[in-house]
Amino acid sequence: MKFDTPATQNPIDRMTVVGKPIERIEGQLKTTGRAKYAYEWHDDGLPYAYGYPLGAAIAKGRIRSMDVAAASRAPGVIKIVTSDGMPDLKRAKRNTAKLFGGTEINHYHQAIAVVIAETFEQARAAAHLIKVEYEEAKGAFDLEASMDGAIKPKDGEPDSAAGDFAPAFEAAAVQLDQTYTTPDQSHAMMEPHASIAAWDGDALTVWTSSQMVDWWRSDLATALDMDKEKIHIMSPFIGGGFGSKLFLRADAVLAALAARAAGRPVKVALPRPFLMNNTTHRPATIQRIRIGAGQDGKITAIAHESWSGDLKGGGPEAAVQQTRLLYSGANRMTATRLAVLDLPEGNAMRAPGEAPGLMALEVAMDEMAEKLGQDPVAFRILNDTQVDPEKPEKAFSHRDLIGCMKLGAERFGWDKRNSRPGTVQDGEWLVGMGVAAAFRNNMVMASGARVKLDREGILTVETDMTDIGTGSYTIIAQTAAEMLGLPLDRVAVNLGDSRFPVSSGSGGQWGGNSATAGVYAACVKMREAIAKALGFNADGIDFADGMVISGDRRVPLGEAVKDVPLVVEDTIEYGDISEEKQQSTFGAHFVEVGINIATGEPRIRRMLAVCAAGRILNPMTARSQVIGAMTMGVGGALSEELAVDKKRGFFVNHDLAGYEVPVHADIPHQEVIFMDETDPMSSPMKAKGVGELGLCGVAAAINNAVYNATGIRVRNYPVTLDKLIGALPQLS
């Protein structure tokens, strides 16, 4: 189905199932432990062995020699696959960095061997017996020191300009010119990267944890130099990804190589330190923001420049993209520069670009509001725009940033905020409020689905879409139920299997909207097939309560099925809508913090998110996405930082003891409000994404609240107590 105009007479608009706060249909499987994650498929009786990876102990250089003799003689060892037998992934489209180290080592913990043994403990013990001699080379590990050599990246968003920034900024009555930094961050999801691989002749089955099943299948075929059709990927349940499981990772390839070498199924889970140093991370940024405005507060000039680093051939963190669209101003400039660093691969992490970009931009907006003597909410509202500021002829399909700001301010009690920093005290705590705008572009991707109807009137949906904890199973079931007039318990959903039609996958905030639109397209075709089977006019029928209704006739849905089930499939594809309208999601984050007067310890007291993201397909699962994102934002603001050893070139705190993420005790009251809106330009579902919007701006709102509480402006994240304690105001 081609979608290039707003859908009319859309069954989804009935909203009898879609839009309802329905509990996850797979929830009981997860809470009772019956949902099988990647490392758990051994319950099927596979005669599996264990693989344990060995990572490079240097960040740059080459391997002189590798002695596996002692490891090979260790108890339980079956085989050892070394770097000599590992593939070069240069041809794989989505791998900008080598997953494996051959003669050349590109980054610390690059996989150089995998030991296969009867037990995990035996494999791990033997891996530590491998003796490797290296020739170490000098590497670049410091972004700030590499800024002078940074270049304009070949890939990614190009630099942009409108008007004439330099003279407009120079002439502005009020000016801001500040630099902000964000650190390297880790996805740190609960489930590590894990895979089980089994060969049957020249055919390969991999049970893995992948957000994008078809991407992995294609790149695994390239890595192993085999026919894609001979690879079967299974990924029905995923214990978190945040972008690190978008792309093929070492565990899947190691498991496949190990299983082939051992002649039996092998399971490989990357240890937690490998998650930080072998897989992807959010790269650090250095961001310079300049804003010029008149005394009235209207922005006349705005510029945002960002520096980040990656391995040779990698890409930048696109931290400037929200600045192109969020606020008005006739004279503008954005630029992105990329330094070559010999650290592990930098790549997508929840809301890539906007998340770190807003950590800087929304603090700069607060600083500018203070210079102007304006309220931070009022200043943002004053500089709202309903068109792309770089392309004024292109309007937004739907934009309600002002509505989010106004409603959020009212619900949060913003009028009670004291604009004088460091003046509100509650016992031993200094108290402050902060705000930030939320922005994330709306992306859609082609997505396919297959639907089957049996004689009992049970509808089964099959698509390779994944569920990374987002509620994909449930919103897909709701979509199918709405389209065919069925109760939810008459719909079955099967996901994460490469034998099913290719979907959008989970990532970029496109998954829920795109995947349900693909199910919508398949269900439209099913409605037509049912009408034909029953001899009805497809344009004149309705579906409700498990019945097909045409005039006075009501026929049970199952009667459309004869000897074999009805089976149809279709794919939603998009026209050039994005060329006609700018599609984005918006929101506002409000936060209250307390800062301990004696220790400088920051604590979150309450949080509010107001989101404008099209039709909300399930308020319950959407709320879970947003509060999870808000919690992630707390980590980004107050604690999360991969500490770089700038001599040895690796992330030192590569486990959950040293890399500190928020826990339940850190998060008190959270409230989420969804604006009542639809966007028919986005998809037949009239929805957008919300899972990344909930993160965008959170850290800045916290930082702004810390300033309001203390009068201390922190421009280098995270906002830790050592950056506060020496300058806290002395109150009685």
Instruction: Name the band, by pLDDT with cuts 50, 70 and 90, for residue 95.
Output: low
Orientation of helix 511-534 relative to helix 472-484, angle to 10°: 30
Domain limit, last residue, from 547, 562, 578: 578
Q: pLDDT tens digits for 376-410?
A: 999 999 999 999 999 999 999 999 999 999 999 99
**Longest CA span, the chain:** 83
> For residue 155, how far is the Cα from the chain centroid?
20
Does the residue 265 lie in any domain? Answer: no
Does the residue 571 lie in any domain? Answer: yes
- For 723, the token pair is 């950056």
Please indicate, yes or no, whether residues 474 and 526 belong to a single structural domain of this protein: yes
Quote the CA–CA distance of 21 and 566 in Å, as a whole number.
30
Burial-class residue 72 by CB neighbours within 10 Å (0-12, 13-18, 19+). middle
Comparing CA positions, the residue from 466, 467, 488 lying closest to residue 477 is 488
CA torsion, points 159, 164, 165, 166, in degrees to nearest 10?
120
Please indicate, yes or no, whether residues 413 and 546 belong to a single structural domain of this protein: no
Q: What is the pLDDT of residue 515?
A: 98
Our count of domains for the chain comes to: 2
Does the residue 112 lie in any domain? Answer: no
Please indicate, yes or no, whether residues 664 and 710 belong to a single structural domain of this protein: yes
Please name the residue that has the structure tokens 């089994």: 198
Strand partners, 301: 292, 331
Comparing CA positions, the residue from 334, 295, 401 lying closest to residue 677 is 401
Please indicate, yes or no, whether residues 613 and 671 belong to a single structural domain of this protein: yes
Q: How far is CA 211 from CA 230, 235, 240, 256, 622, in A?
A: 20, 8, 9, 19, 18
Does the residue 588 lie in any domain? Answer: yes
Among left, alpha and beta (phi > 0; psi -120 to 50; other), residue 576 is: alpha
Cis status of the peptide bond prior to 236, with omega within 30 of 0: no
Q: pLDDT tens digits for 546-591?
A: 999 999 999 999 999 998 999 999 999 998 777 789 999 999 999 9
- For 86, the token pair is 């590992």
Please indicate, yes or no, whether residues 562 and 592 belong to a single structural domain of this protein: no
Please indicate, yes or no, whether residues 608 and 533 belong to a single structural domain of this protein: no
Q: Angle at Cα 728 formed by Cα 722 and Cα 732, nearest 5°?
A: 140
Quote the CA–CA distance of 583 and 608 in Å, as a whole number.
24
DSSP string for 647-710: TTTEES--STTTS----GGG--EEEEEE-----TTT-TT-B---TTTTTTTHHHHHHHHHHHHH
Domain limit, last residue, from 521, 552, 578: 578
Please indicate, yes or no, whether residues 629 and 680 belong to a single structural domain of this protein: yes
Instruction: Name the band, by pLDDT with cuts 50, 70 and 90, for residue 89.
Output: low
Q: pLDDT tens digits for 14-69?
A: 999 999 999 999 999 999 999 999 999 876 677 899 999 999 999 999 999 999 99
Q: What is the pLDDT of residue 603?
A: 98
Quote the CA–CA distance of 578 and 325 in Å, as a whole number.
14
Domain extent at residue 622: 374-441+583-727
Please indicate, yes or no, whether residues 417 and 531 belong to a single structural domain of this protein: no
Q: What is the pLDDT of residue 732?
A: 60
High-pLDDT (> 90) share of the chain, % = 92
Specify the pTM. 0.97
3-state secondary structure of 122: helix
pLDDT at 88 over 80: no
**pLDDT mean across residues, the chain:** 95
Q: Angle at Cα 538 formed by Cα 537 and Cα 544, nearest 5°?
A: 110
CA torsion, points 15, 17, 22, 28, in degrees to nearest 10?
-160
Quote the CA–CA distance of 302 and 177 in Å, as a whole number.
10
Q: What is the pLDDT of residue 8?
A: 65
Q: Name the residues annotated as catalytic.
A: 692
Q: What is the pLDDT of residue 580?
A: 84
Q: What is the pLDDT of residue 94?
A: 60
> Are the CB atoms for 495 and 236 separated by under 8 Å?
yes
Exposure letters 590-615 (e unless 16+ CB within 10 A, then b): bbbbbbbbeebebebbbbbbbbbbbb
Q: pLDDT tens digits for 251-308?
A: 999 999 999 999 999 999 999 999 999 999 999 999 999 999 999 999 999 999 999 9
pLDDT at 607 over 80: yes
pLDDT at 671 over 90: yes
Higher pLDDT, 95 or 171: 171
pLDDT at 96 over 90: no
Q: What is the pLDDT of residue 639?
A: 98
Return the H-helix or E-strand segment holding 213: helix 213-224
- For 567, the token pair is 């089976």
SS (H, E, C) 455-474: CCCCEEEECCCCCCCCCHHH
Quote the CA–CA distance of 694 and 681 in Å, as a whole number.
22
Lowest mean pLDDT among 65-79, 144-158, 209-223: 144-158
Q: pLDDT tens digits for 163-220?
A: 999 999 999 999 999 999 999 999 999 999 999 999 999 999 999 999 999 999 999 9
Quote the CA–CA distance of 316 and 339 in Å, as a whole number.
8
Please name the residue that has the structure tokens 């400039």: 333
Q: What is the pLDDT of residue 155?
A: 77
Does the residue 240 lie in any domain? Answer: no
Q: Angle at Cα 397 formed by Cα 391 and Cα 398, nearest 5°?
A: 115
Quote the CA–CA distance of 146 and 339 in Å, as a whole number.
6
Count, residues in the chain: 732
Comparing CA positions, the residue from 433, 732, 397 lying closest to residue 586 is 397
Please indicate, yes or no, whether residues 657 and 564 belong to a single structural domain of this protein: no
Does the residue 266 lie in any domain? Answer: no
Q: What is the pLDDT of residue 85?
A: 76
For residue 288, count other CB atoms closer than 10 A to its CB: 16
Q: What is the CATH number of the domain that holds 514?
A: 3.30.365.10
Q: What is the pLDDT of residue 511?
A: 97
- The residue-averaged pLDDT of 117-124 equals 98
Q: What is the pLDDT of residue 4?
A: 79
Please indicate, yes or no, whether residues 460 and 512 belong to a single structural domain of this protein: yes
563 phi, psi to nearest 5 deg? -80, -35
Please indicate, yes or no, whether residues 514 and 477 belong to a single structural domain of this protein: yes
Comparing CA positions, the residue from 197, 241, 236, 243 lying closest to residue 213 is 236
Domain limit, last residue, from 517, 544, 578: 578
Quote the CA–CA distance of 325 and 391 in Å, as a whole number.
10
Q: pLDDT tens digits for 676-693?
A: 999 999 999 999 999 999
Please indicate, yes or no, whether residues 434 and 454 belong to a single structural domain of this protein: no
Q: What is the pLDDT of residue 101?
A: 84
Does the residue 120 lie in any domain? Answer: no
- The residue-averaged pLDDT of 424-433 equals 97
> Are the CB atoms for 474 and 621 separated by under 8 Å?
yes
pLDDT at 77 over 90: yes
Does the residue 111 lie in any domain? Answer: no
Q: pLDDT tens digits for 359-382?
A: 999 999 999 999 999 999 999 999
Q: Angle at Cα 533 formed by Cα 530 and Cα 537, nearest 5°?
A: 70
Comparing CA positions, the residue from 136, 143, 145 lying closest to residue 105 is 136
